[in-house]
Every structure is written in C-alpha cells, then in structure tokens.
Amino acid sequence: MGQMDLRSAVAEVIGLQALYSSSNTDDMKRRGALIRKAIPNALSQIQPLLAESAGVEIGDLLIEGRDATGMKAQIPWVRFGSRKASPRATVGWYVVLLFGQAGAGAYLALAHGSTQFRHGAFVPRSDEELSQLMAWGRARLSRSLPNDPRLVPNVKLGSVGALARSYEKSCVVAYQYSAAELPDDAGLQRDMTTLAGLLRQLYDAERLGQTPSATDPSVRDAEEAGAVISRPTSTQGGQGFALSADERRAIELRAMRLATTRLQELGFRVEDVSKMGSFDLLATRGDETVRVEVKGTTGNLGAILLTANEVQLHLKAYPANALMVVHGIELVERDGSPLAVGGTLQSWMPWALDIDLLKGITFKYQLA
C-alpha cells in the first residue's frame, strides 16, 4: 500500500464500516490495512508535531491501530499517546480515532483505557470507574477546552456491543466527523494537535499524582523502581511519570516551610535537622522536645514513603514525635526552575505509627 493522505484513509474506513463483517472478507482486509498501516503511516509524518503538543519525546510517542482481537472488531481504532503512560489501549490517557458502525461516522476523542484484560478476555471497566475518570478529566480541562461546536462531550458509535458502549463512556471530549463533512489533512492535524495539548495537561496531572485514586508520586516512583530491581529483564513498564530532582526538592522545601510556620505558631522553636538525622525538624517548647517527620506531595492525602530508619525512630520517639504532611502542592515554573506553591497541611501530634499500616515495597535479603 502506497502512502495515502490522512483524510482519504479516514474517509475510506468510514465507508467500509457499512460493509462490516466479523469474517476476514476482502473489504475487512482492506479496512485492516488502512487501520494498521495507512493511517498510522500518515500520523507518523506529523509525529514531531504530535509529540511536542502532547509534551512527550518523539521516541515515546506510540502510534498504533487495531481492528481485530480474534474476529474483526465492529469498532476499529487508531490512537497516539505516550508509550510510557499508555503502553496498551486498556491503560492510561491517549487520543484515538474511533470508527462507528455504518452511519455513525468517526470521532477523534481524548480517551482513557476503557477495558482491562482479565482471564483471557477484554472486560469493560465499571461504569463507576469510568464516570469518575471522565468527570475528573472534564473538570481538569474545563478552562482549556476550545469553543468549537464540533467538539462534543458524548460519543455515539451506533453499536450495542459491550466494548462499543465502554468506548462511549471513556471519552472526555471528541471531534465528530461524518463522511460528508470530513476536514482536510490540515484540519485533521489541527484537531489532533488541539487534543494532544489537552492530553499533555492530563499527563502532567498524572505525573503529579492528582488523578482520582492516584498514588503519591514518591511512593509510585519507589514501587516502580522496586519492580525494576526485582525484575530487571521485565518489559512491563510503569507510568513513566517520575518527578525530576528539582521538582522533588521544591516540594520538599514547600512542605518544610509550611510545617515550620505551623510549629512556630504553636510556640515551638524549630531547627531543621533533615540533613543530619532520621527526621526533619526538631521542635522545642520549654521542656518539651518533639521530633517531626515532614512529607510533601502534589497529590491527595494518601500513602507516604518511609525509610526503615524513620519507622524505627518514630516507634521509639512516641509520644514525643509528630507527622506533618502537606498535600495538594502545585508546581509552577519561575525563571526556568520549578517552584512549589499552595498545599494543605495536616498534622498528627503525637504520631502513633501503626505498624499494621506499613506495606513493604522492597526488602533486602541477606544470603551470607
């Protein structure tokens, strides 16, 4: 198959949907060639533009098309997104071309993985989970959505199949295309870069642990590092959203600043001992001495990461100890460097560390 322009390939697939068969007919063979080769090849011509708009490296931009898992699929698709953040269509956020059944046209959608692979089959995610993700995504992007009448909040693929319904429920926003009103290549590229820019915002939020049910970034990074250490030859990747050293330092400084201010408001004299011991702040007030652990996160209040030394120290120090966590910190850029602002402080004074709530990520096992 020679190089086709994007519009022609998309239009032909829309037409072939009227001839759908679950068998590998000549029409379905042609559709498969368009989905798996022609459209991805056309997108690869604008790969640098898509990668830049999505905020990912060119080598990380995944472009793929699928039209069958066994029998020919009723709803074929072509998608692009971060290989690290969305290694499979069942995982993470991406931009996808979804082709409806005859008469339904096509949609270019900002979507999230709508299924999970369980017991040898793709199983739709729960309505509750998809609803929570879509509501969060729309709220997150509410100020950035362009005022374009072609953008629709609901996708209707014209199929009663379970997977089609899951696709419909997993789209935040989409451009709707009919065969008669399909944009030219330049128009399709503009729509793709617009959605790629929105995708970038969702990737940033995931990296900062701000999505529903997200794990604190430091815990997430430790879990993924532990998985790499224990399975160094595994090809199973994590989310690929590690914070930079400068970002982590900015978050740490913001948390320490807010914790210090709160302690001073309570009448404590505060000393930063984070570089010398297994806790962060030494707070004294008269004859009272408190060892304070400080944690900061861009995510919601949830799990925190503790070293073995920190655990042992606070078990022994109780009740002359405290835990202070600043969550919901925001990262902004100032003069080319990350700056942490905002955040909500929550304190446990004293902190009765519950060993039943500890979960090991990695262990050292001494052999000799």
Q: What is the pLDDT of residues 44-83, one digit of tens each?
A: 999 999 999 999 999 999 999 999 867 899 999 999 999 9
Of residues 231 and 14, more confidently modeled: 14
Please report which confidence band the pLDDT of residue 239 belongs to, taking 50, 70 and 90 as the band edges. very low
Q: What is the pLDDT of residues 129-166, one digit of tens each?
A: 888 889 999 998 988 888 888 899 889 998 878 888 88
| Number of Cβ within a 10 Å radius of residue 29 | 12
pLDDT at 132: 86
| Residue 228 scores a pLDDT above 50 | no
Distance of alpha carbon 34 from alpha carbon 145, whole angstroms = 30
Highest average pLDDT, of 2-11, 121-130, 315-324, comes from 315-324
CATH no. of 6-207 = 3.30.930
Domain ranges of the chain: 6-207, 225-232+238-357
CB 95 within 8 A of CB 81: yes
Q: What percent of the chain has pLDDT above 90? A: 59
Distance of alpha carbon 180 from alpha carbon 178, whole angstroms = 5
- Distance between the two ends of the chain, CA-based, in angstroms? 61
| Residue 203 scores a pLDDT above 80 | yes
pLDDT at 2: 64
Is the CATH number 3.40.1350 carried by domain 225-232+238-357?
yes
